[in-house]
């Protein structure tokens, strides 16, 4: 039976501010990407999320981003590759510490927002992230945007990369994510998202907005936890995959 992971971004509140329904989402996904305090999250939210994920048998990863609480990490900041490397190492360390505190273990890293988008297309930035992962713990899995520079950088650096697709994002003919704010960037209909994910996993290919197919390994599917109807969309994606005979399981051991 084919196996695939289902992940979502979590712990993206801050202080009294909440974002998404992490408790409900943890009942659906197999991996949780935990914000590390730069684009969102704080020690309280991170520790709580790690603990609940452990209780529910969900794998956890570090979800580092730009230091941009006001912009939720979705604004590009002109850091050098060296600065990106140290930002990533810092956030992985914070996640590892709080995971151990909560009785869990970080097993992978996935970049957030504008930083992830930069690493999708710019090799220098992607390799900076990879070097940080390798320096902190080369056993960590790197969850990468399929058909992007992260995937190639993981191979170059000898890291274990797992390619992911997005349930709720549109794709160009080149297999790139349609930038947020442009037409077709988001797939808001949960039924359409679920059907498209099942088709992509079955075909082993990204399906672009114009119908083009771009072959790629697919190890994980992401549903954004902060978007409207996120939990419903995740449930429908999971159901569609299971109905297609796909087993849902984390790509990295707890």
Query: In this predicted structure, what is the pLDDT of residue 226?
Result: 75
254 domain residue, yes or no: no
Cα gap 72→126, rounded to integer Å: 20
52 domain residue, yes or no: yes
Query: In this predicted structure, what is the pLDDT of residue 63?
Result: 98
> How many domains are contained in the chain?
1
Task: Tell the burial category of 24 from Cβ atoms under 10 Å away from its Cβ (0-12, 13-18, 19+).
Answer: middle
Q: Which residues span the domain enclosing 226? A: 3-248
Cα gap 194→171, rounded to integer Å: 15
Give the list of residues 6+ apart from residue 247 with CB closer than 8 angstroms, or none: 1, 2, 3, 4
Query: In this predicted structure, what is the pLDDT of residue 25?
Result: 97
Q: How many CB atoms lie within 10 A of CB 172?
A: 17
Helix, strand and coil content of the chain, in percent to the nearest 5, comes to 40, 20, 40
253 domain residue, yes or no: no
236 domain residue, yes or no: yes
74 domain residue, yes or no: yes
15 domain residue, yes or no: yes
Query: In this predicted structure, what is the pLDDT of residue 1?
Result: 65
CATH code (residue 235):
3.20.20.370
Per DSSP, the three-state class of 98 is helix
Query: In this predicted structure, what is the pLDDT of residue 230?
Result: 86
Q: Which residue has the tokens 């672009």?
A: 208
Q: What is the pTM of this model?
A: 0.95
Beta-bridged to residue 164, according to DSSP, are 145, 220
**Tens-digit pLDDT profile for the chain (254 aa)?**
689 999 999 999 999 888 889 999 999 999 999 999 999 999 999 999 999 999 999 999 999 999 999 999 999 999 999 999 999 999 999 999 999 999 999 999 999 999 999 999 999 999 999 999 999 999 999 999 999 999 999 999 999 999 999 999 999 999 999 998 899 998 888 899 999 999 999 999 999 999 999 999 999 999 987 776 889 999 999 999 999 999 999 987 76
196 domain residue, yes or no: yes
Cα gap 99→93, rounded to integer Å: 10
């Amino acid at each position: 039976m084919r196996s695939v992971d289902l992940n979502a971004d979590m712990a993206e509140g801050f202080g009294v501010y909440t974002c998404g329904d992490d408790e409900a989402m943890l009942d659906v996904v197999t991996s949780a990407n935990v914000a590390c305090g730069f684009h969102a999250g704080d020690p309280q939210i991170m520790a709580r999320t790690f603990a609940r994920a452990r209780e529910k048998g969900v794998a956890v990863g570090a979800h580092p981003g730009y230091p941009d609480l006001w912009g939720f990490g979705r604004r590009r900041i002109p850091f050098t590759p060296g600065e990106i490397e140290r930002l990533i190492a810092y956030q992985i360390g914070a996640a590892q510490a709080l995971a151990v505190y909560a009785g869990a273990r970080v097993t992978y890293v996935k970049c957030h927002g504008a930083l992830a988008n930069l690493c999708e297309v710019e090799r220098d930035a992607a390799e900076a992230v990879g070097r940080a992962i390798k320096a902190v713990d080369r056993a960590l899995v790197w969850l990468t945007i399929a058909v992007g520079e992260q995937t190639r950088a993981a191979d170059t650096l000898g890291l274990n990369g797992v390619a992911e697709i997005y349930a709720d994002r549109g794709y160009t003919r080149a297999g790139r994510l349609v930038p947020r704010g442009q037409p077709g960037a988001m797939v808001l209909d949960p039924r359409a998202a679920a059907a498209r994910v099942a088709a992509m996993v079955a075909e082993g290919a990204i399906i672009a907005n114009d119908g083009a197919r771009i072959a790629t390994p697919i190890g994980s599917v992401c549903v954004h936890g902060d978007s409207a109807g996120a939990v419903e969309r995740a449930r429908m994606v999971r159901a569609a995959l299971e109905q297609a005979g796909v087993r849902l399981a984390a790509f990295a051991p707890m």
